[in-house]
């Protein structure tokens, strides 16, 4: 796997000109262009989010315009700086949405800014595509809200699953900022931790202006936490790391960060206070050079790298690229149906017709799902000792295996079960996943009538059926089984709900052969 070096992004003025300019001698009018408003943190604490968002968006617009635009009209990005300030975000949202030539919005970024600006944007009935995982967009035909990142609960699940299954962690402490992002993240962690058998033994809060958080960290360590989950975005993460180092815990206390710390600015944030063991959830964009050749996101990532430089690829620049392409596709679809308006763009986005394998995610938007992205688009990355290089240690696609199959009397191993689980949506009981599996076995007395996943232990009493696999079954058989969200949680839990595979015969209808399901390492 090739190493990815994280560096701060600078916005090139040349991009801004090339992406929105027209040929010499032409006069720009609103009728000539399809205008998209951008409101983001181009300066201030959130610039590590806003600047790459804009960079990717401008690169995409240049590419689209160079190819002829949309229905012969060029795209134009109208940018406004919120400076990460919710009050300013309201003013900017009001300015952009009141301009009838602005057809759609990209942004805001901080969840507090989204909360502030959303009433204005919704009242104007203009599609807004945010870059925060914290809030969930309202779905349905009356909603103009869309979100470009996985739900926050999903980003925490990939980390807690790794912590419980791979590291044996059972106790964590949480250090959260005293802002809306910290409050929301704390709520999500409290909700999902029990699904993995993890106990939250300490919760500490701190102000974003704090310069020392060592007292809070000491309390977390004193509570016997095996890992510290941090809920903070941007430069304040450096204060947390400084406290960890001052207490001599650099290589003793693993840190799980939120997506807001997994940005291009990480190198500068951690300079001089590099973490020992730090993991954070992200999309696959930062790992683009190590993706397999058949990865569906690689073509767009390669184009993005050519446009802005591979060292500037991040989840935010990739999202900016993707949102512009999604809007362009929606505008194209709207033009075929009549005219390009705010309403027709929204309707096209949620129509279920647009399927885009982008640089950040694989998008499948519908009226029921205004994220339209899968859990399998996520990756969990870990820093090296230098703190500036991240490598993938887990993805949102899980590999499951069984312990060797045993007969009822504990006989010799007689088979195995290997599977991969790809999530098709967020972790809710309404949205499940696809379980791709292969089953091998031998030594049965009689035919294998059925096979299924059951709740319980392979050596215990027969448990209830979780999902059926095949009927009848044969050695070496493969298949794909759709499973509900509740079953996914039971498969991936940290030992609270155990699952085994059972192969059944006429004489042993609840398991002639059994093997316990575990997460592959």
503, two tokens = 């192969």
Tell me the backbone φ, ψ of residue 196, rounded to 5 degrees.
-115, 15
Q: Give the mean model confidence (pLDDT) for residues 133-142.
A: 89
Give the span between the Cα atoms of 257 and 238, in whole angstroms.
12
> Model confidence at 423, in pLDDT bands (50, 70, 90)?
low
- What are the angstrom distances between the C-alpha of 296 and each of 35, 173, 362? 29, 37, 8
Contact 423, 435 (CB under 8 A): no
Query: What's residue 20's pLDDT?
Result: 52
Residue 29 has pLDDT above 80, yes or no: no
Query: What's residue 66's pLDDT?
Result: 97
Least confident of 118-122, 294-298, 350-354, 467-471: 294-298
pTM of the predicted model as reported, rounded to 2 decimal places: 0.76
> Model confidence at 23, in pLDDT bands (50, 70, 90)?
very low
Q: Looking at the domain 152-285+378-396, which fold is it?
A: Rossmann fold (3.40.50)
Tell me the backbone φ, ψ of residue 68, rounded to 5 degrees.
110, 0
> Model confidence at 521, in pLDDT bands (50, 70, 90)?
low
Question: For residue 460, what are the contacts with CB-CB under 8 A and spacing of at least 6?
Answer: none
Residue 19 has pLDDT above 60, yes or no: no
What's the mean per-residue pLDDT of the chain?
Answer: 85
Residue 501 has pLDDT above 80, yes or no: yes
In degrees, to the nearest 5, what angle opens at C-alpha 326 toward C-alphas 37 and 139?
A: 85
> Model confidence at 18, in pLDDT bands (50, 70, 90)?
very low
Query: What's residue 12's pLDDT?
Result: 39
* Identical fold between 4-149+288-372 and 152-285+378-396: yes
Q: Give the mean model confidence (pLDDT) for residues 224-253.
A: 89
Q: Give the mean model confidence (pLDDT) for residues 35-63.
A: 94
Q: Give the mean model confidence (pLDDT) for residues 175-182.
A: 89
Q: Give the mean model confidence (pLDDT) for residues 319-346.
A: 96
Q: For the purposes of burial, counting CB atoms within 10 Å of the CB of 66, is it exposed (0-12), middle (13-18) or buried (19 or more)?
A: exposed
Three-state secondary-structure class, residue 66: helix
Q: Which residue has the higher pLDDT, 218 or 284?
A: 218
Tell me the backbone φ, ψ of residue 246, rounded to 5 degrees.
-60, -30
Q: Give the mean model confidence (pLDDT) for residues 99-110.
A: 96
Give the span between the Cα atoms of 57 and 316, in whole angstroms.
10
Give the span between the Cα atoms of 118 and 130, in whole angstroms.
10
Query: What's residue 8's pLDDT?
Result: 26
For the chain, the domains span 4-149+288-372, 152-285+378-396, 398-519
Q: Give the mean model confidence (pLDDT) for residues 252-258.
A: 90
Query: What's residue 471's pLDDT?
Result: 94
Q: Which helix (H) or strand (E) holds 305?
A: helix 298-308
Q: 465 pairs with which residues across the strands?
A: 454
Contact 241, 270 (CB under 8 A): yes
Least confident of 164-178, 265-279, 325-339, 483-497: 483-497
Q: Looking at the domain 4-149+288-372, which fold is it?
A: Rossmann fold (3.40.50)
């Amino acid at each position: 796997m090739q190493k990815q070096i994280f560096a701060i992004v600078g916005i090139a003025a040349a991009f801004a000109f090339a992406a929105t300019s027209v040929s010499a001698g032409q006069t720009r009018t609103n009728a000539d262009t399809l205008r998209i408003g951008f409101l983001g943190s181009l300066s201030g604490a959130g610039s590590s989010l806003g600047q790459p968002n804009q960079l990717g968006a401008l690169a995409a617009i240049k590419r689209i315009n160079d190819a002829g635009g949309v229905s012969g009209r060029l795209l134009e990005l109208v940018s406004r700086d919120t400076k990460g300030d919710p009050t300013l975000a309201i003013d900017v949202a009001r300015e952009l949405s009141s301009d009838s030539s602005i057809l759609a919005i990209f942004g805001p970024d901080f969840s507090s800014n989204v909360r502030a600006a959303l009433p204005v944007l919704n009242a104007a009935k203009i599609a807004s595509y945010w870059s925060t995982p914290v809030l969930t967009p309202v779905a349905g035909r009356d909603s103009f809200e869309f979100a470009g990142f996985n739900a926050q609960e999903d980003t925490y699940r990939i980390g807690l699953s790794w912590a419980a299954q791979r590291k044996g962690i059972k106790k964590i402490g949480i250090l959260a900022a005293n802002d809306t992002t910290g409050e929301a993240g704390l709520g999500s962690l409290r909700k999902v931790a029990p699904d993995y058998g993890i106990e939250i033994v300490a919760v500490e809060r701190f102000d974003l202006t704090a310069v020392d958080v060592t007292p809070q960290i000491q309390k977390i360590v004193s509570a016997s936490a095996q890992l510290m989950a941090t809920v903070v975005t941007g430069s304040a993460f450096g204060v947390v790391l400084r406290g960890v180092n001052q207490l001599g815990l650099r290589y003793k206390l693993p840190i799980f960060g939120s997506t807001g710390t997994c940005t291009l600015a990480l190198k500068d944030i951690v300079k001089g206070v590099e973490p020992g063991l730090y993991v954070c959830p992200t999309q696959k964009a930062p790992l683009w050079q190590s993706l397999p050749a058949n990865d569906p996101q690689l073509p767009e990532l390669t184009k993005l790298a050519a446009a802005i430089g591979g060292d500037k690829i991040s989840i935010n620049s990739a999202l900016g690229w993707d949102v512009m392409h999604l809007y362009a596709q929606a505008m194209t679809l709207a033009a075929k149906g009549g005219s390009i308006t705010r309403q027709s763009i929204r309707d096209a986005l949620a129509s279920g017709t647009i399927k885009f394998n982008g640089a950040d995610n694989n998008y499948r938007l519908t009226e029921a799902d205004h994220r339209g992205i899968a859990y399998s688009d996520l990756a969990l990355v870990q820093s090296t000792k230098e703190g500036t290089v991240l490598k993938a240690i887990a993805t949102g696609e899980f590999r499951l295996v069984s312990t060797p199959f045993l007969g009822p009397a504990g006989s010799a191993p007689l088979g195995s079960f290997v599977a991969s689980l790809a999530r098709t949506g967020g972790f809710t009981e309404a949205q499940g996943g696809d379980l791709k599996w292969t089953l091998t076995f031998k030594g049965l007395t009689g035919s294998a009538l059925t096979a299924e996943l059951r709740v319980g232990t392979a050596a215990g009493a027969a448990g209830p059926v979780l999902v059926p696999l095949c009927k009848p079954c044969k050695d070496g058989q493969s298949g794909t089984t759709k499973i509900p969200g509740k079953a996914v949680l039971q498969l991936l839990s940290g030992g609270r709900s155990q699952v085994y595979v059972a192969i059944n015969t006429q004489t042993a209808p609840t398991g002639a052969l059994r093997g316990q399901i575990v997460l592959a390492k």
